[in-house]
Amino acid sequence: MKLLFICLGNICRSPMAETIMRHITEKANLADKIEIDSAGLIGYHEGETSDSRMISHAKRRGYIITHISRKIRRSDFEYFDKILCMDDQNFDKLIDLSETKEETDKIERITDYCTQHVIDHVPDPYYGGAQGFENVIDILEDACSNLLNTINEDLKKEE
């Protein structure tokens, strides 16, 4: 299973989702079965590390973000099995970029996997304060945990 997390600039939300997913996948001994990456819809921050505030809040929770920002590539639509976005703006843009029904079917909202949070998007914390970053981590921990449960069930069916 190959997962790609998407947000606008790939410096806050999607690298955090990638980091959380990688962390819980390793804890579940599934790292060899699930490939994880993230990207942004714009290339403004390409080649940069994640936002220092996101890195700081992640570190307080025991996560180390190592991702370097990149823009989504055409080949990502073919390569990844699931493309998980953070909000409706991301979703709409990804739908516009997809070229086939198969590509469109791979696009999902990460919040569709939330069970503890009743929310339809992961808010962008970039222009907000500390609580915004903490909220993003809370939402993504919920969503990624349930995403992993879903993937794990699918993997068991394939065995």
Query: 98 to each of 52, 104, 113, how far by Cα in Å?
Result: 32, 6, 22
Which candidate in 7, 12, 114, 144 is catalytic? 7
User: Tokens 């940069």 belong to which residue?
Assistant: 48
The reply to whether 12 belongs to the active site is: no
Take residue 156 and report the two structure tokens written for it: 């068991």
Question: 8 φ, ψ to 5°?
Answer: -70, -60
Which candidate in 13, 22, 51, 144 is catalytic? 13
The reply to whether 70 belongs to the active site is: no
Which candidate in 37, 76, 87, 124 is catalytic? 124
Residue 89: is it exposed, middle or buried by C-beta count within 10 angstroms (0-12/13-18/19+)? middle
What is d(CA 83, CA 76) in angstroms, rounded to the nearest whole number? 9
The reply to whether 7 belongs to the active site is: yes
Q: Which residues are marked as active site? A: 7, 13, 124
